[in-house]
Chain A
Amino acid sequence: MKTLIKIKPKEYKVGDVVKVDFMAMHPMETGMRKNKDTGEIIPANYIDEVKFMFNDQLITKMIIWESLSVNPLMSISFKVSGAGTLKVIAKDNKGQSVESSEQITPKG
């Protein structure tokens, strides 16, 4: 599972509220679609839990379902409290999980 974390804007100070965009490359199968060639139902496979941590402190936890689009984008706000590591842990309903992180380096 490939992931992408983007912080907007690129430059920020301590106390600023920034937007954190997290995107995961995931098929997000609903379990309702059929394989067009064989007619078999494609089993559900979707990300069901995403956690945003800053310096190992939980900021936001998400429980999500298959209604999110393919390669889901999840965007939250985050108040920069200092320098550190922003970690995002995503887990899908088949138990596959991925951890990605981004350094938070406020200027000024």
Chain B
Amino acid sequence: MERRSFLKGFGVVAACTALIPQIANAAEEAKKVVGPNEMNYDSAVAAITGGKPVTPSAKVAISAPEIAENGAVVPVKVTVESPMTNKDYVKAIHVLASKNGNVRCANIYLTPANGEAYFGTRVKLGGTQDVVAIAEMSDGTFLSAKQNVKVTIGGCG
């Protein structure tokens, strides 16, 4: 009898140890799933445009300082030239920081009720990089503009 119960116990322990690495793996996977945040710049752009071409345009104006002493607070303003009527308006403005841990900063979905396609915010920048604005127009085209910001002290950490 003793031998049998020992074997039973052994079986349970064996099953548990077999399970543990799987749970650990699942935890690792979950960490990776945070992953849409860990997209590289190109795949983040592709996720926004769905593979459509992005044309740099003077219609999109991005205003950010050329040199930011403190990367923790970098003011960014984006304006897109558009009449903002029901037929012709800016659907969305996407703001990206090309070399941040998470390149995506904000997606702003606008409506004609905005009257003007404008978005202002303050972002953290981990280092010297481009801040990119991509505007999605109501006719399905994507326009962009970028501004290089030199960061003296990084804003992450």
Please give the residue numbers on chain A whose beta carbons come within 8 Å of chain B beta carbons, in ascending order: 17, 19, 21, 28, 30-34, 44, 54, 57-70, 72-79, 81
Which residue of the partner chain A has the closest CB to B94? A63
B111 engages A77 (CB within 8 Å): no
Please give the residue numbers on chain B whose beta carbons come within 8 Å of chain A beta carbons, in ascending order: 34, 37, 72-74, 77, 84, 97, 100-111, 113-124, 155-157
Partner of A68, one of B77, B109, B113, B121: B121
A78 engages B109 (CB within 8 Å): no
- The B contact surface, by secondary structure, is mixed
Query: A32 to nearest B CB, angstroms?
Result: 6
Query: A87 to nearest B CB, angstroms?
Result: 13
Partner of B124, one of A17, A58, A62, A69: A69
- Total of A-B residue pairs, C-beta within 8 Å: 109
Q: A69-B72, A78-B114, A79-B114 are in contact. Are A60 and B124 (CB under 8 A)?
A: no
- The A contact surface, by secondary structure, is strand
Which one of A54, A67, A74 has the greatest number of beta carbons of chain B within 10 Å?
Answer: A67
For A32, the chain B residues whose CB sits under 8 A away are: 101, 156-157
Which residue of the partner chain A has the closest CB to B122? A69
- Taken together as a complex, chains A and B put the C-alpha atoms of A34 and B157 apart, in Å, by 7
A17 engages B122 (CB within 8 Å): no
- Taken together as a complex, chains A and B put the C-alpha atoms of A26 and B13 apart, in Å, by 46
